[in-house]
C-alpha cells in the first residue's frame, strides 16, 4: 500500500517539530519505518493521508472504548463547544463527572481534574509527600508514570538503589528521592523500606501497560498494601491507562486491593486531553484552597473535555456488559496469535486484562521489565510492518499495550488472526 503522502508529511514535520512528532513513540523508530499521518478515524478504522484504512488496535492509546467518532460522545462535545471552549471557572460538568468517579471507585472520595496523566501523577506524588511529610517514593522498573522529573529514572545496581536520571535535563537531586524496585517482587520493595525511613508512597501501575501488558499479581498488591500500612506510606495506583479500561471500576475492581490515591486519564476524557487524581477525603483535603499543598491549572476541568468524559463514563455504566464482550474478543485475538506463532515455531507470550491485551516474542513468561527485555524486538518489528501492510494497526513498540473497542467485530478479529498467520509464515520463510 502506498505511503508517499505520509513520508512527505513526516519530512515536512521534521523541519518544524523535533523528530517530526509530538510524542517520541509515534516516530516508529523501534519498528524501523516511517510513521503514518492520520487523516481521520471511523469506528474501528484509522484512515491515513494516503487513503489507506487500518483496523485500529491502538485506539488513541486506550481511551476510545467505543471506537473513533462515537456518535454519543461526538454529540456531547459539539453541544459543549457551542457554549464555549473554556471559561477558567467552575462548571456543572466537573461536578457531574467527579460524582460518577467517586461513585464507581472505592478508593476515591474526592477527585481533582487536571489536563494530562503526567500532571495527575506529578500532583498525586506532591500530595502524598505533603500528607506524610516525607520525601522518598518507590516506583517499579518498567512502569511509566509520565515525564515529570522525579519519575524519569533508570535502574541502579541493586534492587533498592536510588534512581539516577534517565534523561538529560533531570537533576540528580530530584531523582535521588526515587527508589526503584522490581515489579512482582516483594523482597525488592522490602529492601527499599530497609534502606529509607523517609518513604512517602509507593506508586505502581496495577496493570502495567508501558512495558507491554504485565499485570501485577494479586498477592503482590496485597503485600504492597500491607507494607504501606506498616510503614505509614501511601499506596498510589496509576490507572491512567487501566482506569475504566480494564473494568468499570478500574484495576481496583479486578484485584480487590484499595489504594490511598488513584491517578486517572485517557478514558475519563473520552479521547479529549484530561487527567485526574483522587483518594480519601482526609488526603484530598490537604489540597489548596482547603489545605497547604498547592496545585492549579487554567484548563483543568475544561468543559469540552468534561462533556466528552461524562458521555463516555455514563455510556460505560449503561453498557457494563461490554467489558466481558471485549475481554472475550481480546482473548480470542491473543489465543489466535499464540496458535499461529506456535505453528510456525515462534515463541510468543500473551496476556489479557479486560479490553487490554499484550504479546511478547519470547519463550519466557513476562512478570517484570527484565523479563520483557528478553523479547525479540527485531522479530516484533517485522511482525508490525507485515501487519501494517495488511491493514492492521498495532502500537509501534514491543513495550506497549493493545486495545479492543466495541467497533472491532468478531469477524475483524478472525481477519486479524488470519493476517498474523500469513505474516508469521512469511517471517519464517524469509
65 found inside a domain: no
d(CA 259, CA 293): 20
Q: Please give the Cα distance from 80 to 64 (Å, whole number).
A: 19
Q: Is residue 320 scored above 50 in pLDDT?
A: yes
pLDDT at 72: 97
pLDDT greater than 80 at residue 75: yes
The answer on 228 and 157 residing in a single domain is: yes
63 within a domain of the structure (yes/no): no
Catalytically annotated residue among 45, 54, 57, 144? 144
Rounding to the nearest 10 degrees, give the CA dihedral for residues 188, 368, 117, 201.
-10
Using alpha carbons, select from 114, 402, 62, 418 the residue that is nearest to residue 273: 114
Q: Is the confidence at residue 2, as pLDDT, over 50? A: yes
* Closest residue by Cα to residue 41 from 386, 323, 408: 408
Q: Count of CB atoms within 10 A of residue 212's CB?
A: 26
In a domain, 111, yes or no: yes
Is residue 159 domain-resident? yes
Give me the mean pLDDT over the 327-353 stretch. Answer: 97
Cis peptide before 289, with omega less than 30 degrees from 0?
A: yes
19: in domain:
yes
For residue 158, what pLDDT is reported? Answer: 34
Q: Is residue 212 part of a domain?
A: yes
Average pLDDT over residues 38-54: 98
Residues 47 and 157 reside in one and the same domain: no
Output the pLDDT for position 162: 44
| 64 belongs to a structural domain | no
Are residues 104 and 211 part of one domain?
yes
Strand order in the sheet with 110-114: 110-114, 275-279, 261-265, 234-238, 199-204, 136-140, 178-181
278 and 402 in a single domain? The answer is no
pLDDT at 164: 52
Q: How far apart are the first and last CA of the chain?
A: 20
Q: Number of structural domains, the chain?
A: 2
Per-residue pLDDT, averaged over 193-218, amounts to: 96
| CATH number for position 350 | 3.90.1150.10
pLDDT value at residue 165: 54
Instruction: Check whether residue 261 and residue 346 sit in a common domain.
Output: no
Residue where a domain stops, chosen among 283, 318, 353: 318
278 and 151, same domain (yes or no): yes
Whether 27 and 90 share a structural domain? no
Q: Which of 266, 315, 371, 393 is catalytic?
A: 266
> Can you give the residue range of the structural domain that contains 384?
4-57+321-429
Quick one: 235 and 313 in the same domain? Answer: yes
Q: Which helix (H) or strand (E) holds 306?
A: helix 303-318
In order, the DSSP letters of 16-60 are HSGGGSSSGGGG-GGGTSPPPPEEEEEBTEEEETT--EEEESSGG
pLDDT class of 23 with cuts at 50, 70, 90: confident
What pLDDT was estimated at residue 166? Answer: 58
Q: Are residues 221 and 347 in the same domain?
A: no
Same domain for 105 and 192, yes or no, is yes
Is the confidence at residue 387, as pLDDT, over 50?
Answer: yes
Decide if pLDDT at 77 tops 70: yes
Active site residue 266: yes
pLDDT for 109 equals 98
Over 80: is that where the pLDDT of 38 sits? yes
Averaged over 163-187, what is the pLDDT?
Answer: 78
Q: Give CA–CA dist 423/383, Å, rounded.
A: 6
- Region 46-59: mean pLDDT is 98
**Is residue 241 in some structural domain?**
yes
φ/ψ (deg, to 5) at 161: -75, 140
The predicted model scores a pTM of 0.94
Q: Which of 238, 247, 260, 371 is catalytic?
A: 238
238 is catalytic: yes
Q: Partners of 162 in the beta sheet?
A: 179
- Cβ count within 10 A of residue 146: 19
Percent of the chain with pLDDT over 90: 87
The domain spanning residue 212 has which CATH number?
3.40.640.10
Report the pLDDT value the prediction gives residue 146, as an integer from 0 to 100.
Answer: 81
- Average pLDDT estimate for 72-88: 97
Given 261, 296, 318, which residue is the final one in a domain?
318
285 and 274 both lie in a single domain: yes
Residues 286 and 382 in one domain: no
**Confidence at residue 161, expressed as pLDDT on a 0 to 100 scale:** 38
User: In what helix (H) or strand (E) does residue 92 lie, and over which residues does it extend?
Assistant: helix 92-104
What is the SS3 assignment for 163? Answer: coil
Chosen domain end from 295, 318, 341 = 318
Helix (H/G/I), strand (E/B), else coil: 189: helix
Amino acid at each position: 500500500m502506498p505511503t508517499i503522502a505520509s513520508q512527505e508529511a513526516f519530512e515536512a514535520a521534521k523541519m518544524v517539530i523535533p523528530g517530526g512528532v509530538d510524542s517520541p513513540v509515534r516516530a516508529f523508530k523501534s519498528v524501523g519505518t516511517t510513521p503514518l499521518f492520520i487523516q481521520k478515524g471511523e469506528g474501528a478504522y484509522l484512515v491515513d493521508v494516503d487513503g489507506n484504512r487500518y483496523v485500529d488496535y491502538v485506539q488513541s492509546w486506550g481511551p476510545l472504548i467505543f471506537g473513533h467518532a462515537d456518535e454519543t460522545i461526538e454529540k456531547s462535545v459539539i453541544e459543549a463547544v457551542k457554549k464555549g471552549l473554556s471559561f477558567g471557572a467552575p462548571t456543572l460538568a466537573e461536578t457531574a463527572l467527579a460524582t460518577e468517579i467517586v461513585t464507581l471507585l472505592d478508593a476515591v472520595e474526592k477527585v481533582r481534574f487536571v489536563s494530562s496523566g503526567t500532571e495527575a501523577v506529578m500532583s498525586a506524588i506532591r500530595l502524598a509527600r505533603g500528607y506524610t511529610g516525607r520525601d522518598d517514593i518507590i516506583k517499579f522498573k518498567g512502569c511509566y508514570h509520565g515525564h515529570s522529573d522525579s519519575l524519569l529514572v533508570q535502574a541502579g545496581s541493586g534492587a533498592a538503589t536510588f534512581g539516577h536520571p534517565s534523561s538529560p535535563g533531570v537533576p540528580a537531586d530530584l531523582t535521588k528521592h526515587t527508589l526503584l524496585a522490581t515489579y512482582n517482587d516483594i523482597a525488592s520493595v522490602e529492601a527499599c523500606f530497609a534502606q529509607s525511613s523517609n518513604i512517602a508512597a509507593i506508586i505502581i501501575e496495577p496493570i502495567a501497560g508501558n512495558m507491554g501488558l504485565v499485570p501485577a499479581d494479586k498477592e503482590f498488591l496485597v503485600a504492597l498494601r500491607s507494607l504501606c500500612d506498616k510503614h505509614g506510606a501511601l499506596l498510589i495506583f496509576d490507572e491512567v491507562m487501566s482506569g475504566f479500561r480494564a473494568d468499570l471500576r478500574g484495576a481496583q475492581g479486578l484485584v480487590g486491593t484499595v489504594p490511598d490515591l488513584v491517578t486517572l486519564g485517557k478514558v475519563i476524557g473520552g479521547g479529549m486531553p484530561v487527567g485526574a487524581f483522587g483518594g480519601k477525603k482526609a488526603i484530598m483535603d490537604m489540597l489548596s484552597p482547603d489545605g497547604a499543598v498547592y496545585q492549579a491549572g487554567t484548563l483543568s476541568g475544561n468543559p469540552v473535555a468534561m462533556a466528552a468524559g461524562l458521555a463516555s463514563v455514563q455510556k460505560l455504566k449503561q453498557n457494563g456488559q461490554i467489558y466481558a464482550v471485549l475481554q472475550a474478543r481480546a482473548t480470542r485475538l491473543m489465543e489466535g496469535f499464540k496458535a499461529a506463532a506456535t505453528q510456525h515455531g515462534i515463541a510468543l507470550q500473551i496476556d489479557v486484562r479486560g479490553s487490554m491485551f499484550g504479546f511478547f516474542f519470547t519463550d519466557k513468561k513476562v512478570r517484570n521489565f527484565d523479563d520483557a527485555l528478553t523479547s525479540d524486538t527485531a522479530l516484533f518489528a517485522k511482525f508490525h510492518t507485515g501487519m501494517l501492510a495488511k491493514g492492521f494497526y498495532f502500537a509501534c513498540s514491543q513495550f506497549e499495550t493493545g486495545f479492543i473497542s466495541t467497533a472491532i467485530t468478531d469477524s475483524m478479529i478472525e481477519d486479524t488472526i488470519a493476517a498474523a498467520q500469513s505474516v508469521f509464515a512469511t517471517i519464517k520463510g524469509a
